[in-house]
Amino acid sequence: MELLASAALYNILRGPLVWVAFLVFLGGSSYRVYTLLEMAKKEKVIFPFISLKATIKSIFHWVIPFASRNWRLRPVMTTMTFLFHLCLVFTPILLLSHNILWRESWGITWWSLPENIADIMTLIVIFTCIFFLLRRIFAPEVRFVTFSSDYLILAISFLPFFTGFLAYHQWVLPHKAMVNLHILFGEIMLIAIPFTRLGHMFYFFLTRSWMGSNFVGLWHTKDW
């Protein structure tokens, strides 16, 4: 506990490990996208059919809740997944505590969420993660294709938000220890993104481009 709450640990987590986490996240993600595009170039049947217009149309169509039929068929899942992703992405970016750190490090500031809103958004992430976990366990079509890696990436996404929430409210562990844990889990998540299926966050745009280009761009059919 002494180690966990120590300033020494904080300095490592807040200092060099931030660099490592972001470099691995940004560099690793770029590398993954680059290699996939290079592979696709060699395949010869991909790039000739890619249409930027169809890609954009398709991305918009699927990024709007209830726009596509499959989103409409599963309203609960759709609501949960959109809430989860929106809060997951925007809470860390607009959180006051994080913005203070950016200002400390780089002197840059931007708008912050009111604290109570940020709290609710964090709770949304926590509860939707629990929903996803229950889904994995109880829905037969999901259980059949659930492996340990699925539980792992769910945990990796869940823990930064859970520990962040606890740190803010100063529950469970001494504040400094919880903050250190939170930073650690956040960095683990960033580092894990290029190496796991959390990378769907950038692959989405490429795969959506393929399907949109084929069905909307080439065949002029509905994107469903």
Buried-state track 92-128, b at ≥16 Cβ within 10 A, e below 16: bebbeebbeeeeeeeeeeeebbeeeebeebbebbbeb
Please report, as ranges, the residues that interact with another protein according to CB under 8 A: 32, 36-37, 39-40, 42-43, 46, 58, 62, 68-71, 73-74, 77, 139-147, 150, 197, 199-200, 203-204, 206-212, 215, 223-224
Minimum distance of another protein from residue 121's CB (angstroms): 21
**2 vs 42, beta carbon nearer another protein:** 42
**21 vs 216, beta carbon nearer another protein:** 216
**35 vs 170, beta carbon nearer another protein:** 35
Minimum distance of another protein from residue 46's CB (angstroms): 7
**112 vs 146, beta carbon nearer another protein:** 146
Q: At what angle do helices 175-195 and 7-14 cross, to 10 degrees?
A: 30
Residue with tokens 């938000």: 161
Minimum distance of another protein from residue 152's CB (angstroms): 12
**163 vs 209, beta carbon nearer another protein:** 209
Minimum distance of another protein from residue 137's CB (angstroms): 13
Minimum distance of another protein from residue 150's CB (angstroms): 5
Dist CA 80 CA 71 (whole Å): 11
**46 vs 101, beta carbon nearer another protein:** 46
Six token digits for residue 152: 């792992």
Minimum distance of another protein from residue 210's CB (angstroms): 6
